[in-house]
Amino acid sequence: MKGPVQIGLALAVGFVVGYVLANVNTRSDDTHHITPGSEIVGIADDHVLILSYTGKGMTLTAQRSTPGADFNVQATFVDGRGAQRCTAPPDLGGQLATFSSLIAKREISVEERDKEFPVHVGNLTVQPWGDEPNYPMMVFTNKAGTSVAFVFDRYLAELTIPLAAFKRLETGCAELGRK
């Protein structure tokens, strides 16, 4: 019998995959075109309300109740480790700027994503404060783990963010929490 964490992880991944696949276009006339160096997602750091990341073996949620406040972080793991809970500073242990401003290296097609970035790393959602929409993204890497791409809305792009940033999120409170 699967545990509640595994079932929740499967449901979360399924929801994000379904949402992204339902909203992804190839490069048709209504597709957004990406200029290298452009900011695709940009949220002022102090206006990020929730950052949620689901990787292969864990889920991390960092949330706060008011702009600029500390984050309450919870990380759960599928390998049986106990859940982690901690408080993280408003910059999320120095990690928030990495995820609140996503810069494109280049636009890619669905075929390029399939061929060049075949490894699904996880799913990232960044929720801004107020009535702005959240930003669910599927994150991929190449086989060497040297470059990251994402699928978001109708965007497909290789990003400037390093894979190591997602690996830091996977450590949970070790990288984000107050010591």
The three-state (H, E, C) secondary structure of 61-94, written as one string: EEECCCCCCCEEEEEEECCCCCCEEEEECCCCCC
Farthest-apart Cα atoms in the chain, separation: 50
Question: H or E segment at 39?
Answer: strand 39-42
pTM of the model: 0.75
Q: Structural domain boundaries of the chain?
A: 4-176
Mean pLDDT value across the chain: 80
Q: DSSP code of 78?
A: T
Q: How far is CA 65 from the centre of its chain?
A: 20
* Cα-based angle 73, 75, 78 (whole degrees, multiple of 5): 170
Q: How sure is the predictor about 49, in pLDDT bands with cuts at 50, 70 and 90?
A: confident
